[in-house]
Chain A
């Protein structure tokens, strides 16, 4: 029960939810629901169909005006003229349709043209004449309002007496589509379009960028003036569209039409959580904000509250909501930080002893004491090493490059290729391309002519998971199957390489084993929910893949071919350390690096998730208990899962982290994630002609002329 609780941790869900951009308006959304429910309880029949239809019919115009306001705010300014533009558009639509008796489409076009005209005036002044948005639009508000009052008085009798029986006009005003009022349908369509525009279409994205940072947008080559101009034109058009809908619904142009709507729209935008500084917000937030204001006013009026009291309570609620929202947005990342790490229960049994006199195969010894250093001080973090058929040594560097050390003495260092990211595990394909797992990027390859190519950077997204895990976050180690398929591990979908210790600390199955098939170009996830899969190596017979779960201290065997294809088994359990890369050995067995050794206290902490939760909350990251990777060793195992021997660097002064080893022509080359050197150890019993490439792609015969590389000079 406890185990299950920690496995499906609700904390995990909340953590991933909070990470989502669309969670930002969570507070306004909940407020909206709360207000609606409150009125459902307080007002009889509030939730009835007729009532809902009535609400939906009255809402769209206000929502569109709020969206117009939101758009201008998102562009980094403000548009106070939306209320006046709305009122004037209302009049124009009425005049065109009722007095001149023109078709509805002309009335529609006229209203929109009016909005675009005023928007262009606003935008032209603000973007090109560089006037202040607040003052400019306020002046436009006053002018347009005054104009509106003049014309409504002048045409009052014309409008009042005009009556046209126009079916299209009435359909827009009071029609339904499947029970939903037409203007509501219009609103939804516009909202979707606006959302799409602002997030997916270039000019819209440019508006958001300009709102976020005008300077950065300019540096990015965005036409800032044009974007601003466009924002105000669109804002004007949204407001005038609202006016058109209002005209069709109300058929009247009163003196108070649109009065104070800019204030409501502004309130809606702020309550919805649109930042007045610009650039942060969305259409949905404007809608949520507008709905809150609308529901409040409407509900309080229905309750028969006194007008001034309505205003006061709205103001009070607004203050509360805005204050809370500001805090929530500000602290959201902190909450996330506090709850993101979600440790799970891992029950270890005590591992075999590593003590020197214990007599186990894991007993500490001195076999790596005399490892000869290569590239001492010339390499930073050679997580993996590989040698080509000409004995040149390739390794990864923490700055994102593949470094080559030339045979025979490995004194000459050259940057073979620069990929970027943090290259980790290496493999070589049949064409002698070097394939590298690159943390933060995916799987990349380097051809012998040094050109870099992408193998894959994404896999199938897992269903039923909030977090988009299609991108490869921490590709760790890979190998190539006889049919060319590339199997690799994506060690964690929740943490990047810098936070590997956190992933270990969590102990959760965050990783996956992925397969890329170069024939079809497709990448797919083979196994998922693995605890830091690593050390991928195709077995000598090519029928299965060995991989390790670093945090669970296990070696697994996954069958990729033959009669047992698709089967998964645990080959070795309860290793005394944290396993890393696996590579083939010349005698038909496999080398395995233990990157760290298990500490009894760490095992105990893994069995106590709540202890780890509190640790994460109470002490700073540098002080957290983590898997000890300062000491490690090299193991050898065979296909039966027997550990054959271990090689130790006593005290780990030379090779603190051992993450990989590669056998080549009678020598073992040792790499480490945080080391400053590569180690080279002669293997007296090994086949002096064996190379990894021949083992994978050779014809099975040992090359006739074998020359072991001359011993490298001792460094220092």
Chain B
């Protein structure tokens, strides 16, 4: 049956490659910059970053938000402790906005005290806020990844292949008057304001969208990314940084087409052992292996099929990659979920490596940009 379908497809759509995942090329050419970066901090369960105008860096980790007042490595102070795991962070209007898994969004003042809270929009709860952004006008934007699962169950959401239930929502600085700008997205995971439009990443559809701020329309800027895009932030040198928390693989895409197998896998097997992308934060002897991942002479090949990977890319306002920073399959800085700039340095959050690393924004010498031998 599948053979007949394949033949029919070949006849009617001869130029369509059914499973093309683009190779990492052009602006996405591999390098080792993330692995060469120096460690900034090691944390239990880091998820998101933000900075304030004084240069302090805020990191969410578990139920807590930590603050590095000087914006340099050192021992952090605990900024706030919340009732649920903290995800996305954003600074604006003199407040820190934080997403709480299963709760919604809270606004915290400079002492970490809660000032406002938003728990639902348009009658549906905000249990899975994946990204937050603010703009100069004081408006707050947020993406709600899914109506069915919380942010920690992102893999289940990918594998369940629901019709998209993610939303992009705007509200005022006091987290009031939420408006749904767009709905029906498949795990929107990043948002940033850019003039009169919003750039939104849609992870499971591997694309970058542009949504009008008045909710009047949506346009696909870039599609078919090699990875799953998540948070997106403006870059000082122009364009935007996008964090890719994992790469797509042919095997994952294949399993996504195999409904019966996938259903059984989800029923019988623990999620960390599924075939699928991983943040790289979990080691298990029993995880699935692919032929290309077998170590040779004790060496994991950096070009092996990636179960987890570290990648951030700077893209133009149209979504074309300008440069990228990688931690390849053999590296340890995987599962990048967020990044911020501070004083010409880029601070990158590796969820898989449970750490922050920082590095100069431009490579110090030509060697660093190369693929490690």
| Contact residue among B275, B287, B288, B291 (Cβ-Cβ distance under 8 Å from A501) | B291
The yes or no answer to A190 lying at the interface (CB within 8 A) is no
**Nearest chain B residue, comparing its CB with the CB of A619:** B250
> Given A623-B250, A631-B285, are A601 and B291 neighbors across the interface (CB < 8 Å)?
no
Q: What are the residues of chain B within 8 A of A629 when measuring CB–CB?
A: 289, 294
The yes or no answer to B273 lying at the interface (CB within 8 A) is yes
> Given A604-B261, A630-B294, A656-B298, are A618 and B19 neighbors across the interface (CB < 8 Å)?
yes
Q: Which of under 10, 10 to 19, 20 to 34, or 35 or more describes the interface residues of A?
A: 35 or more
Question: How far does the Cβ of B302 sit from chain A's closest Cβ, in whole Å?
Answer: 13
Choose, from B57-65, B123-131, B238-246, B262-270, the stretch at the interface.
B262-270
Question: How far does the Cβ of A395 sit from chain B's closest Cβ, in whole Å?
Answer: 14
The yes or no answer to A442 lying at the interface (CB within 8 A) is no
Distance of A599 Cα from B265 Cα, bound (Å): 12
Q: Is A628 in contact with B289, judged by CB distance below 8 angstroms?
A: yes
Distance of A627 Cα from B286 Cα, bound (Å): 10
Q: Is A628 in contact with B286, judged by CB distance below 8 angstroms?
A: yes
Chain A CB count within 10 A is highest, among B268, B296, B304, for B296
Q: What are the residues of chain A within 8 A of B258 when measuring CB–CB?
A: 611, 614
Q: Is B261 in contact with A600, judged by CB distance below 8 angstroms?
A: no
The yes or no answer to A674 lying at the interface (CB within 8 A) is yes
Q: What are the residues of chain B within 8 A of A608 when measuring CB–CB?
A: 260-261, 264
> Given A604-B265, A611-B258, A628-B288, are A623 and B251 neighbors across the interface (CB < 8 Å)?
yes
The yes or no answer to B295 lying at the interface (CB within 8 A) is yes
Q: What are the residues of chain A within 8 A of B292 when measuring CB–CB?
A: 622-623
The yes or no answer to B274 lying at the interface (CB within 8 A) is yes
The yes or no answer to B136 lying at the interface (CB within 8 A) is no
| Contact residue among B264, B285, B288 (Cβ-Cβ distance under 8 Å from A364) | B285
Question: How far does the Cβ of B58 sit from chain A's closest Cβ, in whole Å?
Answer: 33
Q: What are the residues of chain B within 8 A of A501 when measuring CB–CB?
A: 291, 294
Q: Is B286 in contact with A674, judged by CB distance below 8 angstroms?
A: no
Question: How far does the Cβ of B201 sit from chain A's closest Cβ, in whole Å?
Answer: 25
Distance of A615 Cα from B2 Cα, bound (Å): 12
Q: What are the residues of chain A within 8 A of B265 when measuring CB–CB?
A: 601, 604
| A579-619 interface with B by 8 A CB criterion | 596-602, 604-605, 608, 611, 614-615, 618-619
The yes or no answer to B290 lying at the interface (CB within 8 A) is yes
CB-CB contacts of A646-668 with B at 8 A, as 1s and 0s? Answer: 00000110101100000000000
Distance of A654 Cα from B298 Cα, bound (Å): 7
Question: How far does the Cβ of A504 sit from chain B's closest Cβ, in whole Å?
Answer: 10
The yes or no answer to A381 lying at the interface (CB within 8 A) is yes
The yes or no answer to B297 lying at the interface (CB within 8 A) is yes
Distance of A402 Cα from B2 Cα, bound (Å): 49
Distance of A624 Cα from B292 Cα, bound (Å): 8
Distance of A674 Cα from B298 Cα, bound (Å): 7
Q: Is B294 in contact with A380, judged by CB distance below 8 angstroms?
A: no
The yes or no answer to A677 lying at the interface (CB within 8 A) is yes
**Nearest chain B residue, comparing its CB with the CB of A353:** B286
Mark A residues whose CB is within 8 Å of B. 354, 364, 380-381, 501, 596-602, 604-605, 608, 611, 614-615, 618-631, 651-652, 654, 656-657, 674-677
9 tightest A-B CB contacts, nearest first: A628-B289, A622-B292, A619-B250, A676-B297, A623-B250, A656-B295, A601-B288, A631-B285, A600-B269
Mark B residues whose CB is within 8 Å of A. 2, 19, 249-251, 254, 258, 260-261, 264-265, 268-270, 273-275, 283, 285-299, 304-305
Knowing that A600-B270, A676-B297 touch, tell me 13 more A-B residue pairs with CB under 8 angstroms: A354-B285, A380-B297, A597-B286, A602-B288, A605-B261, A614-B258, A625-B275, A625-B288, A625-B289, A625-B290, A626-B290, A630-B294, A657-B294
Could you show 9 A-B contacts with beta carbons less than 8 Å apart? A381-B297, A501-B291, A600-B268, A614-B2, A619-B19, A621-B291, A623-B251, A626-B290, A677-B298
